[in-house]
């Protein structure tokens, strides 16, 4: 299936839901998916074709997933027409598919910057047919009402671990050796890493760092992780103790100053402004930069697309302001794969998805080196590359579970469904700071905090909810510990 051209990196909630039509129209069971030839079909013709369409962005797991699809078909299930998207493009592809009534049967939400519950209320999904077959294989507490289950019905589940974070500096070992830079697995400060980048550029004549500045959600992830390790007492711009938005906290300014310093010191590959993760990785593998910031899946994509480069992989810890061990706190992960509301294959898709909760799949996931699997204990004895194993060891040690307002009170999810996009968001502010369009960062971040507060208040009112802003407050949260109370 061909990809629509000129796809944008993300979608606003208003534009996204505009493509869904009314709930009544979404419930009529109109055409979804594509025929194997990619032409529009109907539920009737699609059922005759015997093909499930499946879209995700999991490039490192492509071979693994195809092996499960082949076995599923050999055992009597439908064929699977599988498309792997650039995560920076899939959201726009899904919007176009929704508008043209050609939705895939199974898909991820990559690129859709919208709460799953809003999409569920907009008629995008249908529940899994046999939830017990899935839940029994998941760690206790994984499924959260308002994230995976709506009105008591299970719609999706996470494949990966909440302990994972994506802000890891990956180095080209050949160039690092040339610069006589020793890559170890110990902690490093902002200044330590900046010095490594400067030395690498000076000794090799190659730009020191590449950032995927055209991938706005990923850049926002980087800043969130760095801010947490510069003293921010919360996550995603919200202080856990009070529930207040505080993007203008000094830690966010310090994190942004750290990233911007590479451009200021002429250590950043100038083309970074035009590059998303996949395009940036291709340039990095080609030797256009020494360092590249990415998640653990970098190892998997390199193995898949640039096998000759695997032996050059090196990875270091997330830098922290003072060189302490990092702590990254994330809430429960949302669902990964969802079944289209109009798919005629809900039972078959559910059976196939249940196989993705098996130990066989998790070991394969580790060896494919995509994200860290939901059970990290399968990684050490797998055949994954040492750098991926190192990433997952860090996650076990430094990744922590954050408080979740939705997990404590599912009514919060109804508020999330009514929330409007705040623009410019953090990713756009980061991009603007690098381009020079944002010249007053403290003011831009303060506005983002204020606009986020107003958006939440408006969403509470629109939902007709009785929850107050204290629903997001967790005064008993302690940094460096899993939050297990609800």
CATH number reported for the structural domain that contains residue 31 in this entry: 3.40.190.10
Same-domain status, 194 and 125: no
**436 and 323 within one domain:** yes
State how far the Cα of 226 lies from the Cα of 426, in Å rounded to an integer: 13
Mean pLDDT of all residues in 135-141 = 95
The count of domains in the chain is 2
Number of C-beta neighbours around residue 253 at 10 A? 16
Q: Categorize the per-residue pLDDT at 1 as very low, low, confident or very high, splitting at 50, 70 and 90.
A: very low
Domain boundary at 345, 370, 401, which? 401
Is residue 2 assigned to a domain? no
Residue 4 lies in a domain: no
Least confident of 78-82, 100-104, 183-187, 209-213: 183-187
Report pTM: 0.87
In a domain, 46, yes or no: yes
The per-residue pLDDT for 36 is: 29
Residue 170 maps to a domain: yes
377 in the same domain as 274: no
Q: Which tens digits make up the pLDDT trace of 436-453?
A: 999 999 999 999 999 999
For residue 45, being part of any structural domain is answered with yes
pLDDT band at 183 (very low <50, low <70, confident <90, very high): confident
Euclidean distance between the first and final Cα of the chain, in Å?
A: 44
Give the domain-ending residue among 368, 401, 434: 401
Q: Are residues 171 and 37 in the same domain?
A: no
The H helix count followed by the E strand count for the chain is: 20, 15
Residue 337, in any domain of the structure: yes
Helix (H, G, I), strand (E, B) or coil at 383: coil
User: Domain boundary residue among 401, 429, 458?
Assistant: 401
The gap from C-alpha 214 to its chain's centroid, in whole angstroms, comes to 15
Q: What is the pLDDT of residue 486?
A: 63
Q: Which domain holds residue 303?
A: 160-331+407-486
**CA torsion sign, 255 to 261 to 267 to 269?**
positive
């Amino acid at each position: 299936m061909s990809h629509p051209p000129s796809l944008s990196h993300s979608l606003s909630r208003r534009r996204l839901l505009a493509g869904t039509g009314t709930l009544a129209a979404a419930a009529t069971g109109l055409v979804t998916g594509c025929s194997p030839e990619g032409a529009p079909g109907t539920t009737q013709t699609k059922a005759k074709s015997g093909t499930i369409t499946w879209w995700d962005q999991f490039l490192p797991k492509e071979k693994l997933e195809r092996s499960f699809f082949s076995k599923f078909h050999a055992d009597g299930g439908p064929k699977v027409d599988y498309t792997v998207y650039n995560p920076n493009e899939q959201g726009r592809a899904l919007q176009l598919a929704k508008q043209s009534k050609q939705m895939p049967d199974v898909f991820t939400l990559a690129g859709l910057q919208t709460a799953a519950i809003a999409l569920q209320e907009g008629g995008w999904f249908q529940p899994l047919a046999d939830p017990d077959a899935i839940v029994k294989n998941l760690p206790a507490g994984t499924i959260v009402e308002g994230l995976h289950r709506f009105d008591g019905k299970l719609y999706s589940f996470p494949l990966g671990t909440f302990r994972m974070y994506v802000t890891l500096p990956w180095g080209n070992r050949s160039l690092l050796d040339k610069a006589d830079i020793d890559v170890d697995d110990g902690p490093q400060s902002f200044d330590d890493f900046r010095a490594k980048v400067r030395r690498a550029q000076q000794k090799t004549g190659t730009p020191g760092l590449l950032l995927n500045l055209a991938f706005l959600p990923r850049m926002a992830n980087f800043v969130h992780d760095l801010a947490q390790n510069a003293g921010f007492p919360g996550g995603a711009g919200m202080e856990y103790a009070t529930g207040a938005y505080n993007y203008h906290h000094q830690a966010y300014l310090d994190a942004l100053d750290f990233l911007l310093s590479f451009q200021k010191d002429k250590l950043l590959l100038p083309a970074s402004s035009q590059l998303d993760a996949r395009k940036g990785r291709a340039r990095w593998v080609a030797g256009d930069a020494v360092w590249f910031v990415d998640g653990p899946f970098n190892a998997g994509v390199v193995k898949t697309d640039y096998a000759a480069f695997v032996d050059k992989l090196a990875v270091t810890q997330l830098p922290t302001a003072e060189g302490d061990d990092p702590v990254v706190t994330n809430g429960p992960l949302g669902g990964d794969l969802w079944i289209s509301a109009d798919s005629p294959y809900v039972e078959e898709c559910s059976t196939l998805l249940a196989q993705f909760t098996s130990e066989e799949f998790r070991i394969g996931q580790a060896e494919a080196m995509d994200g860290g699997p939901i059970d990290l204990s399968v990684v050490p004895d797998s055949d994954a590359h040492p750098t991926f194993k190192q990433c997952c060891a860090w996650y076990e040690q430094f990744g922590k579970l954050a408080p979740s307002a939705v997990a404590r009170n599912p009514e919060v999810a109804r508020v999330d469904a009514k929330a409007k996009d705040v623009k410019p968001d953090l990713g756009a502010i980061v991009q603007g700071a690098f381009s020079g369009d944002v010249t007053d960062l403290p003011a831009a971040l303060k506005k983002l905090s204020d606009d986020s507060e107003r958006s939440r208040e408006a969403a509470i009112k629109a939902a007709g909810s009785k929850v107050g802003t204290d629903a997001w407050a967790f005064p008993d949260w302690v940094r460096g510990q899993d939050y297990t109370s609800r």
